[in-house]
Amino acid sequence: MIKNFELYAIDAKRYAKTGEKVGQVRIDLNNTITSIAPADASNSTVEFRFSVRYGAIGHITIEGRLTYNGNDAEELWKMWTEKSQMPDRIAEEIHTAIMGNCLPSAFQISREIRLPPPVPVPKVNIASKKKDNTGHFSSDGMYS
Chain segment 1-28, per-residue pLDDT in tens? 888 899 999 999 999 887 777 778 888 9
Read off the pLDDT of each residue in 62-87 and give the average, rounded to a whole number: 89
Q: Is the pLDDT of residue 142 over 50?
A: no
Does residue 49 lie within any of the structural domains? yes
Chain segment 36-57, per-residue pLDDT in tens? 988 888 889 999 999 999 988 9
What per-residue confidence (pLDDT) applies to 30? 92
Q: Is the pLDDT of residue 63 over 90?
A: yes
What per-residue confidence (pLDDT) applies to 128? 56
Does residue 80 lie within any of the structural domains? yes
Does residue 141 lie within any of the structural domains? no
E strands, the chain, are: 2-14, 28-40, 43-53, 58-69
Does residue 15 lie within any of the structural domains? yes
Q: Is the pLDDT of residue 133 over 70?
A: no
Does residue 97 lie within any of the structural domains? yes
Rounded to whole angstroms, how far apart are CA atoms 98 and 11?
16
- The whole domain housing 45 covers 2-112
Closest residue by Cα to residue 74 from 110, 113, 47, 41: 41
Distant-in-sequence, close-in-space partners of 43: CB < 8 Å, separation ≥ 6: 67, 68, 69, 73
What's the number of domains the chain is made of? 1
Does residue 43 lie within any of the structural domains? yes
What per-residue confidence (pLDDT) applies to 135? 52
Does residue 16 lie within any of the structural domains? yes
Does residue 125 lie within any of the structural domains? no
Chain segment 77-125, per-residue pLDDT in tens? 888 889 988 888 889 999 999 999 999 999 999 999 988 888 876 777 7
CB pairs under 8 A, 24+ apart, for 117-126?
A: 118/27, 118/29, 118/52, 118/60
Rounded to whole angstroms, how far apart are CA atoms 35 and 25?
31
